[in-house]
Structure 1
Amino acid sequence: MCADIELKKFINAAKRNVENTFAMRSKHPTRYIIASSDPRFPYRVLEDGKDVTPLPHYIEGETYLNDEEYIKSCKQIIDLSWDVFNKPDDSDYPDTHENTEPIINAVRGIGLMPRLDLWNNPDDVKEWEEKRRLERIPSMYRLREDPKKDMAETTTEFPARLVETPLLLLLDLMSDLAPVGSEEAKVLMQTNKRMKDKEIKDKYVVVENWHDDFCQTDERIFRNESTQLSRPLRANASVEAYDSDRITTYVDLGVSDAFPRKTSRIVSIVSLEMNKDDETALQFYGHEKKKPEEIKWLESFDFMHTAAIVERMLTANLYSNLQSMYQDRLYSPKPVDDFKYIPQLLWTCSCPRTYGKAVTSICWSSVIPEIFAVSYGKYLFESKVKNGLVCIWNIKNTEFPERMSILPSPVTFVEFSKKYPRIAAIGFWDGTVGILDTVLREPELIVKCDFIVGLLHPIWQIRWFPYRDEEILLSCGENGQLHQFELDRKFRNKKLLTVRRIGNTARKGIEMPQIDPCYERSSFSPAIMFMAQYPNDEKIFFLGTDQGYVQVHTLYKPDNAIEIFGAHAGPITTIEFNPVDGRIFLTAGCDYYIRIWGYGIYETYLLQLTYRNLYVDYAAWSPAHPYMIVSLSGCFIDVWNLKKKFFEPVTSIENPNQNRNLIVSFSPTGANFLVGDMKGFVYVYGITSLPKPPEDPLKKLAEAIMFPIKYDEDRLKLISLKLGPPYLPDRVKEIFSTKKKQFKI
């Protein structure tokens, strides 16, 4: 009874405290709500440091207590616990039952248990309490909680296990050698006789065992969804080799059907000879001159294809970060003023075969953007290089070329066909041209034409030009002749024109140096150093000569030049049209200048760039940024930004090996470029601190060209008249917009 009285007093006091607290709430503006770890009260309300959290509504006849009050007031109830509850419900103990009834009601009001009979088994009580805690209805004061969204778990990390195999063997030649007349020889002779009923009269008997332990994977490997990753959906621009590629290649080889695990076969004597070049060569003597099937298999296309894939995978382990930089377009999010256009050397493409040979041309494949062809020959006439080389390089394999063709004469130019991407046209130093099939493991010349053998003049360029839904093949060289080839088995050619030496009669272009009349009457024609097709009209092409003149011809009447203008006071090394606006083109020459011209505007140049007293060996437009140019002068690589500076390059770097640079070519994306030098090195550069390509490249190009010539009235009139919008000065735009005045030139 005493416990019942004390409990009622505590309940009344709690009710008064709650009423007073809620009555004073409006008088205390300082109020804090904090989170609570108690699931019944997910938050606490504090005012002036006091807990004023509201309790659930009271129900008549039930008891509600806070956590702290429950611990203090019900301590006596908990102490009674099992001594009272575990007694049997018997009539012999009436007083005990009457004394525990208030306690039962109080505990039920607290909500700890619905029935006392569960307390007879403590394990059942614990299980029931856990179930009640998980399934109970939240109180009316619980904060609102949004249900968790069902989201699929995506795994970003995959476990990989590297297992080292005890044997990595490509080919095992286990020979049994025994002198004639011994017991071992008799056994070997009997074995050989059983395999092949033929008597061997050589001095030694050789029995060789062949093994096919050539890889580190299980022979019985199959695709399985539970063990293998599916091939990801990706474009053919990646630099990684996936597990699915390895499996597909392995299955295609047919390893289990190639030959048995161990095979004993008779081979004639194998001798090793050391050549003068310290190269070991296998020579097969005797009756059986054919190569064993295993060696044929090692030279097969399937094995070489697999070896190339493994080679790319091993190379990717070393250059994966740099290859990712090549693919990711090193664009910078900085403001425009901070762009510095800094070339970063990613890697160098070279091999022992290319050392000492000059890089004469670079051409990208029009189908596979990771493939490019490089021709190797000689740059100087006194060079002692006697043979040439054409290598097909892959961005995925930076150490070794995918294809290599060794040719009898130094190569001067190579270019892929756009209509037939598997073939490439090649020009040679000895005046011959040919067609190379690059799909073969060792590319070979399909056809070859030696129509200028007697003259021994180098072919400087051989180009594929689209014309009337077809492609025509044109070549030019040191003899000043332009030839066209027929793409058939006979590979016949016809001469289109022979350029004539221009005297002092040309009036357009820059002021050319005066020529001695005796030299002018010479019968020798000037060399055609460069040719380019006008992108807006496929029947018009430009020829650059070693005199410094640019001649414009048409395929309808190629003999007569429609325009001739002086571009440089020396041989022309480059003619290249802008990738955005075909009416704008640049020329580079041996007079230290890069000049920018407009189609039809041959009286004067639009811009000229110079920075060093060195020959400009090559220059190229960026396909992504139409106002950016990369030029080569000696061992220097200069990056020009016409929109930022036109009197000096924004960035200049030197050749890593201090060699003279000869050729530069941008990648199809425009974020990388290749540079070839005189010693056979091809450097792959990525431009860092580079802005993203402009949304309106034609407008940006016009702004870059118009800014430095806005005070030159003569050039402004020519551009406005012949090029039109957007190459118009601001004041002309205002006149056209207001329509109040008539613009006269």
Structure 2
Amino acid sequence: MTDDEPSADLGSGWGDIRHKREEIKENLTESDLEKQVELVLQETETIWLLDMPGVCVSAENEEADSIRERNQRYIELSKSRAGNDRYVEKGMNTFNEPYKFKTIQTQRVTYSDAGVMATNWDMYDTYAAEEDAKKGSTDEEEEDHEGTISRPISETKTGSGEETTRDRARLASARSKSSGRATLESRGTMVSSTAGTESLFTSKDTGVTAVYPDAAGSTEESILQSDRLKKDLFFMERVVNLNSYQSKQASFRGFSTVEDIDKEKSEAVGGQISVADMGPNLDRLWSYNCPLTKGRNVSCLSWNSHNQDLIAVGYGQYDFTRQKPGLVCCWSLKNPEYPERTYTFSEGVTALDFSKANPNLLVVGLYNGGVAIFNVRSTTDEPIIDNFSSPGKHTAPIWQLHWIEKERGSGEERAEVLVSVSTDGRITQWSIRKGFESYDLMKLKRLPTRMQGSKNKEKKGEAFISRHAGGFCVDFQKHDTNIYLAGTEEGHIHKCSCSYNEQYLESYNGHAGPVYKVLWSPFVPDLFLSCSADWSIRMWHQDQISPILSFFSSTKSVFDICWSPRSSVVFACVNEAAVEVWDLSVSTLDPVIVYTPVSGARLTSVTFAMNSECLLVGDSEGQVTVYQLRCMAPYPDKQAEELQKVISASLATQLKRPNAFENSSVDSNMSQEFFD
């Protein structure tokens, strides 16, 4: 076949075929109107999906002539297509390329910002330099190069109008420059940098800091190290964390979140077990920890009385062979990721407490017997007063510190003093009114042990190696700060008075190991709790030398206990493996909540939140975890009566049992006293 002969494989002519569509009228019902109708868009002969607009070239472009010539050849070629046997319309399969959006049909347009600032002095110097270069004045060229005024006004040529105009412009520019600088100095503060020519300007009206162009590069480092920037970043970090912990902190405040409401609805509809059906439980919210606290043992916790969202945490090891540098962190609810204040020590921190009269004062007790007081309003890591070189310093670790108010003199004026207890057997009072003076309230002495001899006769025990007993804890009565309790290493609890430092008012025997914590009840002034290494928690009445109730829930040492600030019958404790919450109105035999953390760390301290239904637990890995108490029994209306009612019922049950007190230290007279 030659090129002149027509091709035998001509197009089928499908484009010439036309079909007439029959129009069928449909009767739509209400159900048809509610149906979903799918519409598919397809290309037609006049409407197509891919739109590629033409490219226009300016007629003044260098390639305009070649483009006109190419377009003319294409027009002539299109004219010769009609009736030419060389052109055949034929369909074929092509590769379907991915669709392109309008935003990616063209190359990316790049932008670049450029700016320059020219002052009156710059324009004048440039003009003066060009004029002087034309005249060939060497002296004036050097002066203009340095950026100074080329000639004083008195040296201008009187006969030249051009020089007179230039001098007038120079005088006006100098006046405007001096007046502008005076205005800046009156409304703001000019601070010169180390380079001499670099400066910052801060406006007093707006507080905005401006950097002159010649100082922008060199002052970048000074801006990054400025206190203002650190303060702004401090608040920005708070804002970001508040946004991240919004749902958790809403639960901490007792607010219902959207997630909780949706979960309750789904449980009610789906028939699942709701949270209320699970009984009392703990819900983990978050943990106070950071790289500084990793691997450190949480030794003590203390809430601030003024800002109840602020808690101080002390980190220190208990064992002598595993000592690490101490650390104190002040954590705030506004930033759970990093502490507000940090204080470092060469010795481990074993005790701390916020002042009630001056909430900005934080006292810290160390493993070497030192006591330091910090002002948390200041960001410096230095105590305002300490006893590191004082002759009254403790010679052993301090295990507890207390700020108490005592009467000063014979009048009604009261002053706040500090009391510390240490393993060296001393309970010491510190006063910061005149230096850091101290004197001993009590020197704890060991009590003689009695052993059973033949025919039920008692005989004396072994001789003492030391006459002093190590003190582990102390707590003052809320209504009478002159009376306090002291727990010792040998397992005794002594009731003491600040007025007598030679003998105990009473001694309570019941524990067989060191007493780690003793606490007066916040609702019943005559009752107190104690926990010990003998795996037990005991409740005492100050008029009875034997415990009235004993709680045994595990075979682990109980390190810490805490009364609930809202219910007289609720308290919490921690042992090595679990945290327990007791509700005496529900049971006096078993805790209502036993929670074992999955981390496996040893639990060391516990405290109730002051303004929330939450519990804070510290462990040996440096974490203070916040748990929400859920589904607890409602609080009693009459707190003191409810606790006495529970104790009376428990004692009455024990009295009905035969031989109930053969191996128990409960006094039967105590039950009758509560009934009366």
**The TM-score by the shorter chain falls in which range?**
0.5 to 0.7
Residue 623 of structure 1 contacts residue 669 of structure 1 at CA under 8 Å; is this kept in 2? no
Aligned residues: 456
1:366 corresponds, among 305, 314, 317, to 305
Secondary structure in structure 2 of the residue aligned to 1:538: coil
Which residue in the other structure is 1:295 paired with? 222
CA RMSD of aligned residues (A): 3.8
Q: Is 1:472 aligned with 2:414?
A: no
Which residue in the other structure is 1:459 paired with? 398
2:585 corresponds, among 637, 643, 652, to 643
Q: Is 1:483 aligned with 2:428?
A: yes
* One-letter amino acid matched to 1:295: S
Secondary structure in structure 2 of the residue aligned to 1:707: helix
- CA distance in 1 between counterparts of 2:350 and 2:251 reads 31
* One-letter amino acid matched to 2:368: D
Q: 1:662 to 1:452 in 2, by over 3 A?
A: farther
* One-letter amino acid matched to 2:544: I
Q: Is 1:554 aligned with 2:497?
A: yes
- CA distance in 1 between counterparts of 2:422 and 2:144 reads 66
Q: Is 1:341 aligned with 2:286?
A: no
Shift in Å, 1:395? 1.1
Residue 432 of structure 1 contacts residue 453 of structure 1 at CA under 8 Å; is this kept in 2? no
Residue 208 of structure 1 contacts residue 266 of structure 1 at CA under 8 Å; is this kept in 2? no
1:672 corresponds, among 610, 614, 620, to 614
Residue 539 of structure 1 contacts residue 555 of structure 1 at CA under 8 Å; is this kept in 2? yes
Q: 1:474 to 1:455 in 2, by over 3 A?
A: closer
Shift in Å, 1:650? 1.5
Shift in Å, 1:699? 2.4
* One-letter amino acid matched to 1:345: R
Q: Is 1:412 aligned with 2:350?
A: yes
Shift in Å, 1:708? 1.5
- CA distance in 2 between counterparts of 1:571 and 1:523 reads 16
Q: Is 1:718 aligned with 2:644?
A: no
> Residues 574-629 of structure 1, C-alpha deviation per residue, up to 9 Å, x if partnerless?
10122211211111001111001112122x21111111111111111111121112
Q: 1:700 to 1:454 in 2, by over 3 A?
A: closer
Q: Is 1:540 aligned with 2:483?
A: yes
Residue 662 of structure 1 contacts residue 677 of structure 1 at CA under 8 Å; is this kept in 2? yes
Which residue in the other structure is 1:319 paired with? 245
Residue 354 of structure 2 contacts residue 360 of structure 2 at CA under 8 Å; is this kept in 1? yes
- CA distance in 2 between counterparts of 1:668 and 1:463 reads 18
- CA distance in 2 between counterparts of 1:697 and 1:453 reads 42
- CA distance in 2 between counterparts of 1:296 and 1:444 reads 26
Sequence identity, in percent? 23
Could you tell me the TM-score, scaled by structure 2's length? 0.61
- CA distance in 2 between counterparts of 1:339 and 1:583 reads 35
Q: Is 1:523 aligned with 2:466?
A: yes
* One-letter amino acid matched to 2:237: E
Q: Is 1:575 aligned with 2:527?
A: no
Secondary structure in structure 2 of the residue aligned to 1:617: strand
Shift in Å, 1:397? 0.9
- CA distance in 1 between counterparts of 2:347 and 2:285 reads 31
Q: 1:677 to 1:515 in 2, by over 3 A?
A: farther
* One-letter amino acid matched to 1:319: Y
- For structure 1, the residue ranges without an aligned partner over 5 or more in a row are 1-165, 167-189, 196-204, 213-218, 221-250, 268-291, 508-512, 722-726, 733-745
Secondary structure in structure 1 of the residue aligned to 2:211: coil
Secondary structure in structure 1 of the residue aligned to 2:650: coil
Residue 419 of structure 2 contacts residue 430 of structure 2 at CA under 8 Å; is this kept in 1? yes
> Residues 108-156 of structure 1, C-alpha deviation per residue, up to 9 Å, x if partnerless?
xxxxxxxxxxxxxxxxxxxxxxxxxxxxxxxxxxxxxxxxxxxxxxxxx
> Residues 629-674 of structure 1, C-alpha deviation per residue, up to 9 Å, x if partnerless?
2111112111111111121111211123111111101111361111
* One-letter amino acid matched to 2:504: A
Which residue in the other structure is 1:177 paired with? none
Q: Is 1:403 aligned with 2:341?
A: yes
Q: 1:429 to 1:453 in 2, by over 3 A?
A: farther
- CA distance in 2 between counterparts of 1:550 and 1:194 reads 86
1:498 corresponds, among 427, 430, 443, to 443
Residue 414 of structure 1 contacts residue 427 of structure 1 at CA under 8 Å; is this kept in 2? yes
Q: Is 1:391 aligned with 2:329?
A: yes
Q: Is 1:615 aligned with 2:566?
A: no
- CA distance in 1 between counterparts of 2:548 and 2:278 reads 25
Equivalence map 1:628-707=2 (5 Å): 628-669=570-611, 671-707=613-649
Residue 481 of structure 1 contacts residue 528 of structure 1 at CA under 8 Å; is this kept in 2? yes
- CA distance in 2 between counterparts of 1:671 and 1:400 reads 23
- CA distance in 2 between counterparts of 1:192 and 1:437 reads 57
Residue 572 of structure 1 contacts residue 588 of structure 1 at CA under 8 Å; is this kept in 2? yes
Q: 1:498 to 1:705 in 2, by over 3 A?
A: same
* One-letter amino acid matched to 2:468: S
Q: 1:553 to 1:209 in 2, by over 3 A?
A: same
Q: 1:452 to 1:390 in 2, by over 3 A?
A: farther
- CA distance in 2 between counterparts of 1:680 and 1:607 reads 33
- CA distance in 1 between counterparts of 2:611 and 2:145 reads 63
Residue 506 of structure 1 contacts residue 566 of structure 1 at CA under 8 Å; is this kept in 2? no
Secondary structure in structure 1 of the residue aligned to 2:300: strand
- CA distance in 1 between counterparts of 2:470 and 2:417 reads 21
Equivalence map 1:89-108=2 (5 Å): none
1:310 corresponds, among 229, 236, 258, to 236
* One-letter amino acid matched to 1:414: L
- For structure 2, the residue ranges without an aligned partner over 5 or more in a row are 1-110, 112-142, 149-193, 265-272, 408-413, 453-457, 656-665
Which residue in the other structure is 1:111 paired with? none
Shift in Å, 1:497? 2.3
Q: 1:495 to 1:698 in 2, by over 3 A?
A: closer
Residue 329 of structure 1 contacts residue 671 of structure 1 at CA under 8 Å; is this kept in 2? no
- CA distance in 2 between counterparts of 1:438 and 1:514 reads 55
Residue 450 of structure 2 contacts residue 461 of structure 2 at CA under 8 Å; is this kept in 1? no
Could you tell me the TM-score, scaled by structure 1's length? 0.56
Residue 632 of structure 1 contacts residue 664 of structure 1 at CA under 8 Å; is this kept in 2? yes
Which residue in the other structure is 2:359 paired with? 421
- CA distance in 2 between counterparts of 1:544 and 1:370 reads 30
Q: Is 1:376 aligned with 2:315?
A: yes
Equivalence map 1:425-464=2 (5 Å): 425-450=363-388, 451=390, 456-464=395-403
Shift in Å, 1:715? 4.2
Q: 1:442 to 1:343 in 2, by over 3 A?
A: farther
